[in-house]
Amino acid sequence: MKTLPEIKLAIIGLGYVGLPLAVEFGKQRAVVGFDIDNERILSLKQGIDATLELEECQIKDAKNLSFSSNMDDLKSVNTYIVTVPTPIDINNTPNLSPLEKASRMIGKYLNEGDIVIYESTVYPGATEEFCIPILESVSNLEFNKNFFVGYSPERINPGDKENTLTKIKKITSGSNPDTRKLVNDLYLSIIIAGTHSAASIKIAEAAKVIENTQRDLNIAIINEFAKIFNVLDIDTKSVLDAAGTKWNFLPFKPGLVGGHCISVDPYYLTYKAKEVGYQPEVILAGRHINDGMGKYVATQLVKSISNKGIPIINSKILILGFTFKGDCPDVRNTKIIEIVKELNSFNIDIDVYDEWADPSVVLNEYSIKLEDNLIEDTYDAIIIAVDHTEYKSWGETKIRKLGKKNHVLYDLKYVLELGESDIRL
């Protein structure tokens, strides 16, 4: 088994998870930051991070980090950390193709004594049942004899400048006791908050997938509360504020649940549960509620427009924000697209404005052209869909000026104070 100084590291995948990891390790040891996206590599070599997670000075501070999209640069590596995405398909079934491709690539370069550590979120058992057989098949090496595997689930929160990589406790695990210790020691070298060494890879996988599943369910119950309170004509936030005066009431808010984690990970767990003969009920009920919130928001808005005597067909609506969360450029799995789709079914003219989002990405992935110039007295309705700091600074007066004299303002994210908008979730 290798010692910590002998580790020659490569980070496979340089997105929201992989880049911060590569930079932190690159401050103290030689690291190859690898990604198949050559444009991403060229930008990173110039110190430019399109995800806005890291600034140029932070990237260049990692003196021992090199960026590459050339697989031959992995020949000198003996330890790999895999941080590729694990999405779901149209049927909410795990799509492990990025993980498969990464494992096959690593298998071609795997040598005696090498270690492969996975960070991608998966269902319990995926590393040993799916990834390791690929590594064995491609490399012709035997698991836990010729090469070893670890699992340390990512806990990155995109856009969060407070709870950054080194400040979040890290779960680690390994395929045998020696690997478990080495993997733990490797992460301890950069994680200020410390680590938790799990007894097995499956435990570490399960711990990660239930973190986001629990959060998804907490938001789902709040969303259901909001639906009930809307029928009862009670302001949801006021109810939550009152209930929140009790010390053990959890401070969740209603809203759209998008992004690459919370809205995806529960399906990984339920997939595995079904595979072993257990039919999950509560988890899928929460997913059903959260997946339907985009349509619910659109329906609420249309009702409000109608109640104001505004013709629905050919009305003009502005959606402020398209990213899946505030002050973050990430548009992966944004649920705002569900609002757009539902409103389109009413023959409504929709403009979307978001200076955080990359216009080319939004156009390519969602066929939506972002507005770059807003004109006052234009819209029949305005939805504040994302709580970007920009919209908070605008305030009610500036936002309402974008609307016609008779318009509806829907504050989906509690950006404004009570009474400043016409409807709130």
Q: What is the pLDDT of residues 278-302, one digit of tens each?
A: 999 999 999 999 999 999 999 999 9
Q: What is the pLDDT of residues 185-237, one digit of tens each?
A: 999 999 999 999 999 999 999 999 999 999 999 999 999 999 999 999 999 99
Mark 323-352 as b/e (b = at least 16 C-beta within 10 Å): bbbbbbbbbbbbbbbbbbebbeebebebbb
pLDDT for position 130: 98
Please compute the mean of the pLDDT values over residues 141-166 and round it to a whole number: 94
Query: Are the CB atoms for 100 and 106 separated by under 8 Å?
Result: no
pLDDT for position 292: 96
Helix (H), strand (E) at residue 231:
helix 201-231
The predicted model scores a pTM of 0.94
Architecture in CATH of 220-424: 3-Layer(aba) Sandwich (3.40)
What is 4-207's CATH number, 3.40.50.720, 3.40.50.1820, 3.30.499.10, 3.40.47.10? 3.40.50.720
What sign does the dihedral 22-200-265-413 (CA atoms) show? negative
Please, where are the H alpha helices in 110-160?
126, 132-139
**Rounded distance between C-alpha atoms, residue 174 and residue 204, angstroms:** 9
Q: What is the pLDDT of residues 62-88, one digit of tens each?
A: 999 999 999 999 999 999 999 999 999
Q: Are 4-207 and 220-424 in the same CATH fold?
A: yes
Mean pLDDT estimate for the chain: 96
pLDDT for position 158: 86
Q: Which two tokens stand for residue 392?
A: 């908070």
Q: Which two tokens stand for residue 401?
A: 């000026």
**Rounded distance between C-alpha atoms, residue 199 and residue 201, angstroms:** 7
pLDDT of residue 28 exceeding 90, the answer is yes
> Catalytic residue numbers?
261
Percent of the chain with pLDDT over 90: 96
CB neighbours of residue 54 within 10 Å: 21
Higher pLDDT, 91 or 259: 91
| Torsion-angle region of 194 (φ positive above 0: left; ψ -120 to 50: alpha; else: beta) | left
**Rounded distance between C-alpha atoms, residue 125 and residue 202, angstroms:** 5
Q: What is the pLDDT of residues 172-185, one digit of tens each?
A: 999 999 999 999 99
Please give the sequence-ordered ranges of beta strands (E in DSSP) within 35-114, or none if there are none: 65-68, 79-82
Strand partners, 82: 12, 118
Give residue for tokens 């989002």: 357
Query: Are the CB atoms for 96 and 120 separated by under 8 Å?
Result: no
What sign does the dihedral 288-293-299-303 (CA atoms) show? positive
Our CA dihedral for 368, 372, 374, 380, rounded to 10 degrees, sits at: 0
pLDDT for position 343: 96
pLDDT for position 372: 92
Please give the sequence-ordered ranges of beta strands (E in DSSP) within 180-332, or none if there are none: 195-197, 316-320
Q: Which two tokens stand for residue 35?
A: 């990604």
Query: Are the CB atoms for 408 and 423 separated by under 8 Å?
Result: yes
Query: Are the CB atoms for 237 and 414 separated by under 8 Å?
Result: yes
pLDDT of residue 132 exceeding 90, the answer is yes
Give the SS3 label for residue 383: strand
pLDDT of residue 306 exceeding 80, the answer is yes
Query: Are the CB atoms for 321 and 385 separated by under 8 Å?
Result: yes
pLDDT for position 159: 85
| Sequence spans of domains, the chain | 4-207, 220-424
Provide the pLDDT confidence category of residue 347 given band limits of 50, 70 and 90: very high
Please compute the mean of the pLDDT values over residues 245-273 and round it to a whole number: 94
Please, where are the H alpha helices in 88-157?
97-109, 126, 132-139
Q: What is the pLDDT of residues 363-418, one digit of tens each?
A: 999 999 999 999 999 999 999 999 999 999 999 999 999 999 999 999 999 999 99
